[in-house]
C-alpha cells in the first residue's frame, strides 16, 4: 500500500455532533441544569478520538494477519517511527506502549535519580512517572503567559539532589526552551520534555522533538494523533535511542542475550498501524482544530471574564486543546459552576488539570493539603482553566452553540447563582479576593511516596 501524505484525507467515520432543538436558550429555565432540554443529544467529549480512515486501517490489519507478526519491532512499528521522524525532523524515534512508559524509559536510561524539577500544572502521569522511578518530583511554578515552567522558578528549586528538569509543553504551548537549556547547562543537569500535547507543534520554525536531550509524546485515544494507546521518545542522540530500544524490549541485545535492565514497553503492530493511519490525516486534523479554535476565539472575544488562550508568537500549534480561563471576579460565575452548566447540556468541558499534581495523592494528603510550598500561578490557572471540545467531529455550528452557552451562562450569572443558592449554598470561588494567591511563593520537593 502506498503511504498517504500527512495532509491527505480520504474518508471519515467521525459523525459531526450537531446541536439539537434544546440549544436555543432564552431564559435560565431553558438551561438543562434547571430542567430544560440539553443542547446536545449526545455527549460532546473533550478527548473524543479523531478516527482515521477505517478502510485503510482494516487493510493494514488484514496485512498484519496475513503476515502473522503482531508485535516486537514489526513493519508497522518501524513505519510509524519513520513518519514521526519525518514530521519532527529528529534523527531517532523509539515508539512505545504509551506516553507514561515513554517518560519512565527515558528517565531509567538517563539514570535520573534524586529530585527532578517538574511543573505541577500537568496531567498526573508526568509526576507519577517520576515517582514510579523512585525520583522526587520537585514542583515549580509556571509563568502565566506560556503556562509552562517558569525559568525563574526553576533556579530557586535546584538543589544538590537535582538531576534533571522535566518540562511540559502544556496544551501544545511550547516552553521557553532556550532559557531552560541555559539553566540545565549551567547546572550540569539533564533537560527533557514531556511533549504529550505538542506533537506537530513548532516554535521559531523548529519542531517539537528537537529540544533538550529527548522529548516524549503520547498517542493515547484522546490525542489528536492516536494509536488508541501509544507513545514515543524522540531524540537527536542516536546512541541514547539505541539504549532506549534495548530497554523497551527487556534489555535483549540479541536472542537469549540480555545486556541491560529492561521492561516491556513495546507498541503492538495493531496500535502502530492505527497510529500510522492517524498520522496520514494529521494535517487535516490540525487544520480542522485550527479553524474551530479561531471560531471559538471570535465568538468568545467579548464575553466578560472569559479569556481564550491564543497561539504563542512565532509558534505553530496543533490546536487540540481549546482552553479558556474564567476570571470569576469579572464573569461573576466560577469555572466549576460553568462546567456543571455545560455538562448538563452534554458539553463535557474538562477542568484540565485540576487539582494540580501537588494537591493530588500521593503528593498531598487526603484533603489536598500540601506542606511547605505554594505555586501562585499554578493555583490561578488550575482554578480557572476549562477545556472545550475540539476535533474533527466538531464543526462551526457546534462551536457556535458551545460558545453561545458560555455567553448565556455569563450573562445570566446572577440568576444562575441565585437559583443554585436556593437549592444549596454555592460559594463563588474567590481565592483572588481572599488574597490567597498573593501568599509567599516557595517550592519544595515531594518525597517519593513509600
| Radius of gyration of the chain from its Cα atoms, rounded to whole angstroms | 23
Stretch that binds ligand T4K, among 65-73, 88-96, 118-126, 141-149 (CB under 6 A): 118-126
Q: In this complex, which beta carbon is closest to ligand T4K, that of residue 49 or of residue 356?
A: 49
Q: Residue 347 CB, nearest distance to ligand T4K (Å)?
A: 12
Q: Residue 394 CB, nearest distance to ligand T4K (Å)?
A: 12
The residue within the footprint of ligand T4K, chosen from 173, 203, 220, 358 (CB under 6 A), is 220
Stretch that binds ligand T4K, among 95-103, 159-167, 240-248, 442-450 (CB under 6 A): 95-103
Q: Residue 99 CB, nearest distance to ligand T4K (Å)?
A: 3
The residue within the footprint of ligand T4K, chosen from 88, 122, 288, 412 (CB under 6 A), is 122
Stretch that binds ligand T4K, among 42-50, 63-71, 155-163, 254-262 (CB under 6 A): 42-50
Chain centre to alpha carbon of residue 448: 24
Check residue 194 for interaction with ligand T4K (CB under 6 A). yes
Q: In this complex, which beta carbon is closest to ligand T4K, that of residue 44 or of residue 445?
A: 44
Angle at 307 between CA 123 and CA 170, to 5 degrees: 25
Check residue 80 for interaction with ligand T4K (CB under 6 A). no
Q: In this complex, which beta carbon is closest to ligand T4K, that of residue 45 or of residue 206?
A: 45
**Selection from 101, 11, 26 nearest residue 59 by Cα:** 11
Check residue 100 for interaction with ligand T4K (CB under 6 A). yes
Mask for 162-181, x = binds ligand T4K (CB under 6 A): ------x-------------
The residue within the footprint of ligand T4K, chosen from 53, 163, 218, 315 (CB under 6 A), is 218
Check residue 224 for interaction with ligand T4K (CB under 6 A). no
The residue within the footprint of ligand T4K, chosen from 9, 18, 45, 206 (CB under 6 A), is 45
CB 246 within 8 A of CB 96: no
Check residue 407 for interaction with ligand T4K (CB under 6 A). no
Stretch that binds ligand T4K, among 216-224, 276-284, 332-340, 360-368 (CB under 6 A): 216-224
Q: Residue 273 CB, nearest distance to ligand T4K (Å)?
A: 17
**Grid cell at residue 158:** 535546584
The residue within the footprint of ligand T4K, chosen from 25, 31, 44, 48 (CB under 6 A), is 48
Q: In this complex, which beta carbon is closest to ligand T4K, that of residue 20 or of residue 47?
A: 47
Stretch that binds ligand T4K, among 62-70, 96-104, 304-312, 337-345 (CB under 6 A): 96-104
Please write down the HEC assignment for all residues of the chain: CCCCCCCCCCCCCCCCCCCCHHHCCCCHHHCHHHCCCCCCCCCEECCCCCCCCHHHHHHHHHHHHHHCCCCCCCHHHHHHHHHHHHHHCCCEEEEECCHHHHHHHHHHHHCCCCEEEEECCCCHHHHHHHHHCCCEEEEECECCCCCCECHHHHHHHCCCCEEEEEEECHHHCCCCHHHHHHHHHHHCCEEEEECCCCCCCEECCEECCCCCCEEEEECCCCCCCCCCCCEEEEECCHHHHHHHHHHHECCEEECCEECCCCCECCCCHHHHHHHHHHHCCHHHHHHHHHHHHHHHHHHHCCCCCEEECCCCCCEECCCCCEEEEECHHHHCCCHHHHHHHHHHCCEECECCCCCCHHHCCCCCCCCCCCCCCECHHHHHHHHHEEEECCCCCCCHHHHHHHHHHHHHHHHCHHHHHHHHHHHCCCCCCCCCCCCHHHCCCECCECCCCC
Q: Residue 390 CB, nearest distance to ligand T4K (Å)?
A: 12
The residue within the footprint of ligand T4K, chosen from 222, 236, 360, 444 (CB under 6 A), is 222
Check residue 24 for interaction with ligand T4K (CB under 6 A). no
Q: Residue 284 CB, nearest distance to ligand T4K (Å)?
A: 19
Please tell me the distance from the alpha carbon of residue 233 to that of residue 218, in angstroms, as a whole number: 9
Angle at 294 between CA 142 and CA 388, to 5 degrees: 60
Q: In this complex, which beta carbon is closest to ligand T4K, that of residue 64 or of residue 96?
A: 96
The residue within the footprint of ligand T4K, chosen from 49, 209, 262, 376 (CB under 6 A), is 49
Interface positions with ligand T4K (CB under 6 A):
45, 47-49, 98-100, 122-123, 125-126, 168, 194, 196-197, 218, 220-222, 231
Amino acid at each position: 500500500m502506498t503511504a498517504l501524505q500527512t495532509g491527505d484525507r480520504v474518508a471519515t467515520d467521525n459523525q459531526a455532533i450537531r446541536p439539537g432543538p434544546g440549544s436555543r436558550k432564552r431564559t435560565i429555565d431553558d438551561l438543562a441544569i434547571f430542567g430544560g432540554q440539553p443542547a446536545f443529544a449526545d455527549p460532546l467529549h473533550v478527548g473524543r478520538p479523531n478516527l482515521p480512515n477505517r478502510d485503510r486501517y482494516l487493510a493494514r490489519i488484514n496485512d498484519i494477519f496475513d503476515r502473522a507478526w503482531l508485535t516486537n519491532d514489526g513493519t508497522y512499528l518501524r513505519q510509524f517511527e519513520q513518519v514521526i521522524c519525518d514530521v519532527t525532523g529528529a534523527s531517532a524515534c523509539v515508539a512505545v506502549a504509551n506516553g507514561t512508559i515513554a517518560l519512565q524509559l527515558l528517565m531509567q536510561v538517563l539514570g535520573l535519580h534524586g529530585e527532578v524539577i517538574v511543573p505541577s500544572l500537568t496531567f498526573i502521569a508526568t509526576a507519577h512517572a517520576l515517582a514510579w522511578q523512585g525520583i522526587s518530583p520537585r514542583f515549580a511554578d509556571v509563568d502565566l503567559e506560556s503556562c509552562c515552567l517558569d525559568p525563574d522558578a526553576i533556579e530557586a528549586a535546584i538543589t544538590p539532589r537535582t538531576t534533571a528538569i522535566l518540562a511540559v509543553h502544556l496544551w501544545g504551548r511550547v516552553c521557553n526552551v532556550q532559557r531552560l537549556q541555559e539553566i540545565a547547562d549551567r547546572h550540569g543537569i539533564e533537560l527533557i520534555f514531556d511533549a504529550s500535547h505538542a506533537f506537530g507543534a513548532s516554535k521559531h520554525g523548529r519542531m517539537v522533538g528537537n529540544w533538550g536531550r529527548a522529548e516524549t509524546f503520547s498517542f493515547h485515544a484522546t490525542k489528536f494523533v492516536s494509536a488508541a494507546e501509544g507513545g514515543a521518545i524522540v531524540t537527536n542522540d542516536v546512541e541514547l535511542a539505541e539504549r532506549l530500544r534495548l530497554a523497551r524490549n527487556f534489555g535483549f541485545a540479541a536472542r537469549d542475550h540480555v545486556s541491560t535492565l529492561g521492561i516491556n514497553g513495546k507498541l503492538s503492530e495493531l496500535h502502530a498501524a492505527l497510529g500510522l493511519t492517524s498520522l496520514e490525516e494529521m494535517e487535516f486534523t490540525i487544520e480542522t482544530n485550527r479553524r474551530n479554535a479561531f471560531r471559538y476565539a471570535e465568538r468568545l472575544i467579548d464575553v466578560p471574564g472569559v479569556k481564550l488562550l491564543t497561539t504563542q508568537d512565532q509558534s505553530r500549534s496543533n490546536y487540540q486543546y481549546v482552553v479558556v480561563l474564567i476570571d470569576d471576579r469579572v464573569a461573576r460565575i466560577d469555572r466549576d459552576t460553568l462546567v456543571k452548566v455545560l455538562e448538563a447540556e452534554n458539553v463535557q468541558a474538562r477542568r484540565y488539570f485540576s487539582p494540580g499534581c501537588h494537591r493530588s495523592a500521593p503528593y498531598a494528603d487526603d484533603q489536598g493539603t500540601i506542606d511547605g510550598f505554594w505555586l501562585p500561578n499554578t493555583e490561578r490557572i488550575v482554578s480557572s482553566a476549562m477545556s472545550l471540545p475540539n476535533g474533527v467531529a466538531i464543526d462551526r455550528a457546534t462551536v457556535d452553540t458551545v460558545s453561545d452557552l458560555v455567553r448565556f451562562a455569563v450573562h445570566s450569572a446572577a440568576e444562575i447563582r441565585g437559583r443554585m443558592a436556593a437549592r444549596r449554598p454555592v460559594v463563588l470561588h474567590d481565592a483572588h479576593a481572599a488574597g490567597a494567591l498573593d501568599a509567599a511563593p516557595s517550592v519544595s520537593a515531594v518525597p517519593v511516596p513509600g
